[in-house]
């Protein structure tokens, strides 16, 4: 057996230690030292919000995300190309038969503004050709009308967008009733040989 020195202890020392431990525990915040006590209904501020300095998140992660997103979009463009509906652009650029009335109205107004004395007449044929008649009896210089009509489809700003083409078989033809006829072909009409009536 080992010998040891007997040390006497005051009466009630154990109870005193337990009391000190209870007092120490009571002094700690509710929920432990890592979770300070918060009153219900009062907004809680984190450590980063204490004082005048506000918490600013790290910007590098947001920059990396944006760079990744931009790189993904660029790769998709390379693979697929820009979105263009099939045939829409050509359909909008090329006049259609639905615009025939607008063509004739604009052509008639243009002719009346420039050659009112020639009493121009505009109509269409069964083949959708646009035919213009001028009364030569009211025109002192028919050569002027011919020169005017030769430039009208391509030089007139209002008409050249319609893509009207001259019809050779019906261009500058003199009719039996003393009229001069000019035939124009809209872009949706296929070129071919036409048989035009020379009578107004």
| Mean pLDDT, the chain, integer | 76
Res 35: pLDDT: 58
For 29-72, the pLDDT digits (tens) are 655 555 556 666 666 666 555 555 555 556 666 777 788 878 77
Residue 163, phi-psi category: left (phi > 0), alpha (psi -120 to 50), beta (remainder): left
Name the more confident of 17 and 43.
Answer: 17
Most confident of 83-87, 88-92, 165-169: 165-169
Q: Which residues pair with 183 in a beta bridge?
A: 131
> What pTM value is reported for the model?
0.51
Tokens of 101: 């009335």
- For residue 193, is pLDDT > 80? no
**In the chain, % of residues over pLDDT 90:** 16
- For residue 182, is pLDDT > 90? yes
**In the chain, % of residues over pLDDT 70:** 64
Tokens of 156: 């007139």
For 113-135, the pLDDT digits (tens) are 988 888 899 999 888 899 999 99
Cα-Cα-Cα-Cα dihedral sign, residues 9, 10, 12, 15: negative
């Amino acid at each position: 057996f080992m010998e040891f020195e007997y040390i006497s202890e005051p009466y009630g020392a154990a109870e005193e230690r337990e009391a000190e431990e209870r007092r120490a525990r009571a002094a700690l915040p509710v929920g432990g030292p890592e979770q300070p006590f918060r009153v219900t209904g009062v907004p809680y501020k984190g450590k980063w919000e204490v004082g005048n300095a506000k918490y600013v998140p790290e910007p590098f992660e947001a920059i990396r995300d944006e760079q990744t997103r931009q790189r993904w979009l660029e790769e998709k463009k390379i693979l697929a190309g820009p979105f263009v509906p099939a045939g829409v652009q050509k359909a909008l650029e090329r006049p259609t038969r639905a615009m025939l009335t607008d063509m004739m109205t604009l052509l008639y107004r243009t002719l009346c503004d420039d050659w009112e004395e020639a009493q121009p007449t505009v109509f269409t044929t069964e083949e959708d050709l646009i035919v213009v008649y001028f009364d030569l009896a009211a025109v002192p210089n028919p050569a002027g009308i011919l020169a005017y009509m030769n430039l009208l489809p391509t030089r007139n700003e209002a008409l050249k967008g319609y893509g009207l083409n001259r019809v050779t078989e019906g261009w500058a033809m003199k009719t039996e009733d003393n009229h001069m006829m000019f035939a124009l072909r809209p872009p949706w009409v296929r070129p071919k040989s036409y048989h035009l009536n020379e009578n107004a």
